[in-house]
């Protein structure tokens, strides 16, 4: 199911996040993400992981929080700031926040990178060309290239959503429950893709409630509980009992 | 097939009208009908953006009336200084375009930053615009000075290559609107916002800014319609406006 983990060449911090608080959801959260690293965020549903990242991206009210990208300070006030800096977020709510289900495939794919197709008039032929490429690269199965995004199966919708955020050519990819409602075949493809992107040097964050998935792909794990980080695990500590202990508060009630 | 519905309806109406009176389908009558509907057509071009983005602007009718009244007062005031010619009219045109954009900006800000439903905002301004005009006109009508009116009337009654000016303006606005909506990043953003605003937000679109812009476009379209409306009658009263 999971591709063999490649060791991540430690060092070189890509993204440093410090002191982020999202009222009611997350308090004083910090972490570092390295180039080529897959960092997992574990926790029970309601631990504040989704809200934390929505807050970081500027999709939700946030107080405090400072960011560095490649050691340089970074301002994140609006999601567009993040995209410009090369940070993209794919929501767990595919139909409500991820894809325009009533629009066709090509407008979905190019939406976040439209600037590239506007000179200043849009070039539908180039968008179409990009769609053909994405369908091939991400193995998206659609009845027709002119289909509405909502007609795709869950797995293919997720691959299209991934293609959409990756179309901006990001350096940091934040995936929230990337395999929810996705069939086994597509799951395997998504894991392979995540691994491949990491080996190309992207920093990847995976928020997931599936422990097996996190243990299977992540190099390191941050465990959250009640809006706080209760544990940071790597190496041999990446096992189910350990994660559950931190996620439920048996261990690390106040780890920094 | 579904998008052909309105066109089929129109064809049926034209056929029916021609059966009732054969002179309906003459060039003169078609131009007459088109000239009169070009106001509404131009306003509808702006309305397309607002509605596709998921909003509504109920105030366009009374906005037309207030813009017409304001434009006339403005030009009447300028006439003694700049003369009763095209210069004064040019200033009037710029003034009314700016005022229309400003009204649209006000709508957009109240809706996005003030977080008030567009229905409520524009229902409110519908009343406000007409009330202000009633105040400005002291309950009567505001009339353009006769010598200015003589010059300006060419804009409505004149024609270019045999086609009345308002129809040309409508044509240009409609084509421009179509290109803006279907072939630019802004137009695509508008469609994405209307299709699902939340998804658009998560796709890092500047949703508020684009929504405000749709109301500004609506305001400018109302101003363009007003520019064609004023020379027709040369006056505005609280009952002015497309209806």
Give the per-residue pLDDT at A106.
Answer: 95
**Which among A61, A21, A70, A29 has a CA at the least distance from the CA of A171?**
A70
* Helix, strand, or coil (residue A122): strand
Q: Has residue B26 got a pLDDT over 80?
A: yes
Q: Is the minimum CB–CB distance between A86 and chain B shorter than 8 Å?
A: no
Q: Has residue A221 got a pLDDT over 90?
A: yes
Question: CB–CB of A112 and B189 under 8 A?
Answer: no
Give the per-residue pLDDT at B165.
Answer: 93
Using the CB atoms, write b or e for B149-176: b if 16+ within 10 Å. Answer: beebbebbeeeeeeebbbbebbeebbee
Distances (CA, A) of A197 to A210, A213, B81: 21, 17, 69
Give the per-residue pLDDT at A224.
Answer: 94
Query: How many angstroms separate the CA atoms of A48 and A42, rounded?
Result: 10
Among the ranges given (A118-132, A234-248, B194-208), the one the predictor scored with the smallest mean pLDDT? A234-248
**Other CB atoms closer than 10 Å to residue B23's CB: what's the count?**
9
Check: complex ipTM more than 0.95? no
List the single best residue of A121, A126, A148, A175 to mutate versus B (max B Cβ within 10 A): A121
Q: Per-residue confidence at B155, pLDDT binned at 50, 70, 90? A: confident
Question: CB–CB of B188 and A111 under 8 A?
Answer: yes
Nearest chain B alpha carbon to A89: B202
Give the per-residue pLDDT at B31.
Answer: 92
Q: Has residue B243 got a pLDDT over 70?
A: no
Give the per-residue pLDDT at B83.
Answer: 84
Give the per-residue pLDDT at A256.
Answer: 43
Q: Has residue A252 got a pLDDT over 90?
A: no
| pLDDT, average across residues A162-185 | 94
Question: How much is the pTM?
Answer: 0.90
Q: Is the minimum CB–CB distance between B115 and chain A shorter than 8 Å?
A: no
Give the per-residue pLDDT at A255.
Answer: 45
Query: How many angstroms separate the CA atoms of A89 and B161, rounded?
Result: 55
Q: Has residue B240 got a pLDDT over 80?
A: no
Give the per-residue pLDDT at A3.
Answer: 81
Looking at every residue in chain B, the average pLDDT score rounds to 93
Identify all chain B residues contacting A79, using CB atoms and an 8 Å cutoff: 201-204
A139: left (phi over 0), alpha (psi -120 to 50) or beta: left
User: Residues 170 to 229 of B: which have CB under 8 A from any A CB?
Assistant: 179, 182-185, 188-189, 191-192, 195-196, 198-206
Helix ranges (DSSP H) in chain B = 5-20, 27-52, 60-82, 86-112, 118-136, 146-157, 165-183, 185-195, 197-202, 207-233
**Mapped to the 3 state alphabet, what secondary structure does B152-195 carry?**
HHHHHHCEECCEEHHHHHHHHHHHHHHHHHHHCHHHHHHHHHHH
Determine the distance in angstroms separating the CA of A164 from the nearest CA of chain B, rounded to an integer: 9
Half-sphere exposure of A178 (CA within 13 A, CB side): 29
Q: Per-residue confidence at B157, pLDDT binned at 50, 70, 90? A: confident
Torsion angle in degrees (nearest 10) through CA of A67, A69, A74, A77: -70
pLDDT tens string A134-173: 999 999 999 999 999 999 999 999 999 999 999 999 999 9
pLDDT tens string A42-63: 999 889 999 999 999 999 999 9
Percent of chain B residues topping a pLDDT of 70: 98
Query: How many angstroms separate the CA atoms of A46 and A62, rounded?
Result: 17
| pLDDT, average across residues A112-133 | 93
Q: Is the minimum CB–CB distance between A129 and chain B shorter than 8 Å?
A: no
Helix ranges (DSSP H) in A61-153 = 79-85, 105-110, 124-137
| pLDDT, average across residues A226-234 | 91
| pLDDT, average across residues A169-186 | 93
| pLDDT, average across residues B10-36 | 92
Is residue B118 reached through a cis peptide bond, with omega within 30 degrees of 0 on the bond before it? Answer: no
Looking at every residue in chain A, the average pLDDT score rounds to 91
């Amino acid at each position: 199911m999971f591709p063999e983990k490649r060791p991540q060449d430690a060092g070189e911090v890509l993204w440093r996040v410090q002191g982020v608080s999202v009222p009611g959801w997350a308090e004083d959260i910090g972490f570092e993400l390295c180039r080529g690293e897959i960092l997992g965020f574990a926790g029970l549903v309601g631990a504040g992981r989704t809200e934390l990242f929505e807050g970081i991206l500027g999709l939700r009210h946030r107080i405090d929080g400072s960011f560095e990208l490649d050691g340089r300070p970074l301002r994140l006030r609006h999601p567009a700031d993040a995209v410009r800096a090369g940070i993209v977020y794919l929501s767990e709510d595919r139909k409500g926040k991820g894809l325009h289900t009533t629009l066709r495939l090509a407008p979905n794919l190019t939406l976040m990178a439209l600037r590239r197709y506007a000179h200043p008039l849009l070039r539908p032929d180039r968008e179409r060309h990009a769609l053909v490429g994405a369908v091939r690269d991400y193995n998206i199965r659609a009845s027709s290239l002119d289909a509405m995004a909502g007609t795709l199966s869950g797995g293919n919708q997720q691959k299209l959503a991934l293609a959409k955020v990756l179309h901006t050519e990001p350096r940091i990819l934040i995936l929230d429950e990337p395999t929810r409602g996705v069939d086994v075949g597509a799951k395997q493809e998504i894991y392979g893709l995540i691994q491949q992107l990491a080996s190309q040097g992207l920093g990847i964050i995976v928020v997931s409630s599936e422990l097996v998935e996190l243990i299977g792909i992540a190099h390191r794990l941050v465990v959250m509980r009640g809006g706080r980080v209760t544990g940071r695990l790597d190496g041999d500590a990446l096992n189910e009992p350990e994660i559950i202990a931190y996620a439920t508060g048996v261990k690390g009630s106040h780890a920094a | 097939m579904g998008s052909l519905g309105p066109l089929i309806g129109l064809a049926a109406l034209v056929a029916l009208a021609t059966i009732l009176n054969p002179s309906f389908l003459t060039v003169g009558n078609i131009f007459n009908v088109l000239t009169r509907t070009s106001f509404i057509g131009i306003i509808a071009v702006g309305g397309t953006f607002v509605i596709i983005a998921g909003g509504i602007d109920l105030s366009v009718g009374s906005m037309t009336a207030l813009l017409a009244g304001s434009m006339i007062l403005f030009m009447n005031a300028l006439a003694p200084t700049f003369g009763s010619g095209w210069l004064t009219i040019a200033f009037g045109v710029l003034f009314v375009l700016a005022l229309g954009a400003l009204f649209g900006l006000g709508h957009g800000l109240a809706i996005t930053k003030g977080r008030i439903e567009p229905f409520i905002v524009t229902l409110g301004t519908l009343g406000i615009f007409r009330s202000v005009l009633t105040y400005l006109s002291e309950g009567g009508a505001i009339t353009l000075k006769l010598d200015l009116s003589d010059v300006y009337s060419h804009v409505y009654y004149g024609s270019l290559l045999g086609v009345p000016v308002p129809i040309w303006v409508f044509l240009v606005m409609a084509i421009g609107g179509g290109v803006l909506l279907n072939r630019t990043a802004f137009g695509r953003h508008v469609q994405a916002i209307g299709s699902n605003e939340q998804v658009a937000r998560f796709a890092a679109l500047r949703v508020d800014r684009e929504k405000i812009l749709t109301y500004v476009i609506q305001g400018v379209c109302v101003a363009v319609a007003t520019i064609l409306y004023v020379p027709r009658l040369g006056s505005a009263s609280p009952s002015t406006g497309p209806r």
